[in-house]
Structure 1
Amino acid sequence: MTRKPYLTGHYEPAVDEITATELTVEGSLPPELTGRLLRNGHNPKPGVTPTHWFKGSGMVHGIRLNGGRAEWYRNRWVHTPALDGAPYMTEYGPDLTASTAGTHVIEHGGRLLALCEANLPFELSRDLDTVGAYDFDGKLRTAMTAHPKTDPVTGELHFFGSSPLPPFLTYYVADAEGGITHSAEIPGATASLKHDFALTRRHVVFIEGTVTFDPNEHSGIPYAWSDDQPARIGVMPRGADGAAHIRWFPIEPGNMLHAANAYEDGRGRIVLEGPTVDREGFRLSWNWWVGAPGRGAEPNTRSYTRRWTIDLSAGSVREEVIDDLAVEFPTLNEDFLGVEHRYQYAVSFPDQDGLGGYGVVKYDRTTGSRQLLEVGDARLPSEAVFVPAAGATREDDGYLLTVVSDLKQEASRLLVLDASDLGQVAAVHLPRRVTAGIHGSWIPDSAPDAGRG
């Protein structure tokens, strides 16, 4: 029997948990890189074959940097009920603790949280041991998106919970200490798949694509492309009564998993960007995610960066594809989240014909230029996390951290790249080939008690 593609190659799961110390470093690690790079991804236990890549149990990989040294690497499964086979759906309804917890890992209010959009967060200790499900002291009554946004000015955490059943969308705000201060059900939302959203200084921007809940879809998870599902952007003013004033704008059919950023421009229009797939792009990715016969393509093919400009006064949306390179996992200097930014980064993928390769991409939105760092044959970089340099004065004055899986060497390295030119600053040799994953975070030591216990 052919093995599922998400269990082979770069995605072949690690079979155990290890800890290694005093890792070999090439070059010189900048001293301001004092903290932990954490990265999450789907990694089912040996002998388990999930029906969809997204259903594999989460494993968090961590690398501790301190004073120019790479002190340790460790990897740990997130020990949720689902890791031991507990079902998500029970006779009493969904079990929000039966999570893969394999999409993202963040820090907020002194807690490390492993996230999966269909479930509650799971809290981790500093050493990545599982503490347990976390519901914000009982105030989180829905699942939580894997893509919360931290306001760089207030420190607030904005997030949502989505459901295939009413209420379809609930919006939350937690203060900088981690207490939920606001929640609201969002009128007009549908069962469309909502994976990410965007935050500007004045608005919350929700995205509903052409992929929606489908109980008849049994090949992996119950979502499918539907021409009857209108694609829309919802724009809601920030504030206590914002939900009452949300406006929905129709857009072209497509599906966007990850927003790069959104902001209000000089004319008050909202600009939103992110990689988006059309019907064929979604079909190809879905076939890979479920391991369908004749898949014939890598995931994220036909995933092209799209820009929407929303004129609230005119009630109109201008939509355009701004690049023809297949990319995913957009990132930026998070100090510019919600305001106009010049630079953004992404990971490139081969197209549907297998042309092109994996790499790290830098976009200059002012000049329209694109810089591509190809990482080499049989190598796959992870999402590039931006870390500001000490005393930074420019937007791209900092570093990109990406873990590169090398199939030929059966090894991985953490690359530290200069964000201004993608030049290599340093590399940390890791004790194993790290399974290709999804999202992660840099947790500086300045974060308050990030990961207790």
Structure 2
Amino acid sequence: MSTKPYLTGHYEPVADEITATALPVEGALPPELTGRLVRNSHNPKPGVTPTHWFKGSGMVHGIRLREGRAEWYRNRWVRTPALDGAPYLTEHGPDLTASTAGTHVIEHAGRLLALCESNLPFELTADLDTVGAYDFDGRLRTAMTAHPKADPVTGELHFFGSSPFPPYLTYHVSDATGRISHSAEIPGATAALKHDFALTRNHVVFVEGTVTFDPGEHSGIPYSWNDAQPARIGVMPRGRDGAGAVRWFPVEPGSMLHAANAYEDAVGRIVLEGPTVDRAGFQLSWNWWVGAPGRGSEPNARSYQRRWVIDLVTGAVDERIVDDLAVEFPTINEDRLGAEHRYQYAVSFPDQDGYGGYGIVKYDRVTGARRIHRAGDARLPSEAVFVPAAGATAEDDGYLLTVVSDLKQDASRLLVLDATGLGQVAAVDLPRRVTAGIHGSWIPDSTPDGGDPQA
């Protein structure tokens, strides 16, 4: 058995691909949950031990719901050249198709795309079979972030490509039909790690933390904490001429992997939120990701919710930690993306002292209240995906979908939680324990990629 933490416990890879139908349901699935929940995970093939958690090949898990029934579960490796050992770096430079494709999976303009930030996306069928690398009909010539942002007003997909070499940051916009309508290199960017970003109604918000390119790091992910790397937030007006007006604001040292949301407040300030780690927290996570001796805690042990308020007139930035619970994988009702939101969700983890435990957290940003659905001993929930209820009127009128890995039962369940009170609405028993993964999406049949309703 492997001693690498990212290949054991909740993260132990599955060894094969299966399809199961007519899944058992506890409770009543809301009929509006008609579509597919798709989730990505790092799942190296049997006999392969990657040097870093992020290097594990991508496997996408799908659960098909329709009008109160759980019709199928299936899992498939994303069949990229890297799955068969093809190197990312070649004598001709980086091979953008040699992807793990294991970080996220989204739908845009009728295409299901598996993502990894150092590569091109990979297109999948509705049944999760691999179509191949997708470069937006030749218009995408950089890597693509694993965290694109779909504007709920325009239908555009905003994303970036980052590189440890110039140009360090290139911004792209794809219209609602899937055509890249705009690309621009962003001046002033550095080789700092840029995993996620945020979108407001009027601005694009980039984040450069204190983690940057390090050619001496030999885990296969050449980044490390560097006190000489200034932490900054870049604010760029949206539009074709925005790159020339980008401004960079210094912030406290730290590293943010995932943004919850950003928006302009009533007086025009930019408000950005997301979990961050300090140097000690980053090292705890890194030790786990590479399986270093003395790793101690699992990832996210010192990851705390942070808020930045950026005054575009004075240049001042107010930042503060707003909660003492260790959390990651923030989500919101995506209809509020880029606008002020009241409710925010996240996965809680035990901190370095064991405080907290696994659960799904709901924050009320107006009252300051925090509610937790506790997963229970040895049960790790996945990122909570928000799905609006039929006829929803309130921001939190909907459901949270999360797949729970249960080590004691060696099993997994899809939980459907009421997004208002976090009570359990229904559960679907899955045919195996699903590898704890990273990110995923709900794809309703009512979207352009609802797919064949018979799929």
Shared fold, TM over 0.5: yes
Alignment of 1:72-111 (within 5 A): 72-111=72-111
Which whole-Å CA distance do the structure 1 matches of 2:356 and 2:113 have between them? 35
Match of 1:146 in 2: 146
Moved more, 219-228 or 429-438: 219-228
CA contact (8 A) 1:107 1:443 kept: yes
1:2 is displaced (CA, Å) by 5.7
Contact 1:220/1:290 (8 A) holds in 2: no
Task: Report how many aligned residue pairs link the two structures.
Answer: 453
Query: CA separation in 1, counterparts of 2:447 and 2:267?
Result: 36
1:206-221 equivalences under 5 Å are: 206-221=206-221
Counterpart Cα distance in 2 of 1:219 and 1:243: 34
In the alignment, the residues of structure 1 paired with residue 414 and residue 39 of structure 2 have an alpha-carbon distance, to the nearest angstrom, of: 11
Q: Deviations over 1:60-87 (max 9, x none)?
A: 0000000100000000000000000000
For the residue of structure 2 that corresponds to 1:74, the secondary structure is strand
Is 2:339 the counterpart of 1:339? yes
Per-residue CA deviations over 1:190-231 (Å, capped at 9, x if unaligned) read 000000000000000000000000001113410000001000
**Match in the other structure for 2:116:** 116
Structure 2 residue aligned with 1:372: 372
Partner AA of 1:209 in structure 2:
G
C-alpha displacement of 1:340: 0.4
Mark the runs of 5 or more structure 2 residues left unpaired by the alignment.
none
What displacement does 1:392 show? 0.2
Rounded to whole Å, the distance in 2 between the matches of 1:56 and 1:21 is: 28
2:133 aligned partner, one-letter code: A
Cα 1:450–1:117 change in 2 (3 A) is farther
Q: What pairs with 1:414-433 in structure 2 (closer than 5 Å)? A: 414-433=414-433
Summarize the alignment of residues 365-444 of structure 1 with structure 2, pairs less than 5 Å apart: 365-444=365-444
2:48 equivalent in structure 1: 48
Contact 1:25 1:428 in 2 (8 A): yes
| Alpha-carbon distance in structure 2 between the residues aligned to 1:335 and 1:2 | 42
Aligned position for 1:167: 167
Give 1:451 shift: 5.9
**CA displacement, residues 338-395 of structure 1 (integer Å, 9 cap, x when unaligned):** 0000000000001012333100000000000100111110000000000000000000
**Residue pair 2:150, 2:157 contacting (<8 A) in 1 also:** yes
**Equivalents in 2 of 1:87, 1:196: separation in Å?**
25
User: Distance in 1 between the 2:225 and 2:202 partners?
Assistant: 32
Q: How does 1:236-315 map to 2 (within 5 A)?
A: 236-315=236-315
Q: How far 1:447 moved relative to its partner? A: 1.5
Q: After superposition, give the CA deviation of every residue in 1:254-274 in whole Å (9 maximum; x if it has no partner).
A: 000000000000010000000
Paired with 1:305 and 1:369, the residues of 2 have a C-alpha distance of 14
Given the two structures, how large is their TM-score scaled by the length of structure 1? 0.99
Contact 2:174 2:181 in 1 (8 A): yes
Q: Using a 3 Å threshold, how does the CA distance of structure 1 residues 137 and 450 change in structure 2: closer, same or farther?
A: farther
Contact (CA 8 Å) 1:39, 1:62: kept in 2 or not? yes
Look up the equivalent residue of 1:285 and give its one-letter code: S
Q: Look up the match of 1:186.
A: 186
Contact 2:211/2:226, CA 8 A, preserved across alignment: yes
Q: Which residue of structure 2 aligns with residue 197 of structure 1?
A: 197
Calculate the TM-score normalised by the size of structure 2: 0.99
Output the CA distance in 2 between the equivalents of 1:290 and 1:253: 23
Unaligned stretches of 5+ in structure 1?
A: none
Q: Distance in 2 between matches of 1:285 and 1:316?
A: 31
Name the SS of the counterpart of 1:335 in structure 2: helix
CA pair 445-451 structure 1, distance change in 2 beyond 3 A: closer
User: After TM superposition, where is structure 1 displaced by more than 3 Å over at least 4 residues in a row?
Assistant: 449-453
For the 8 Å contact 1:41–1:58, the answer to whether it is kept is yes
3-state SS of paired residue (2:136): coil
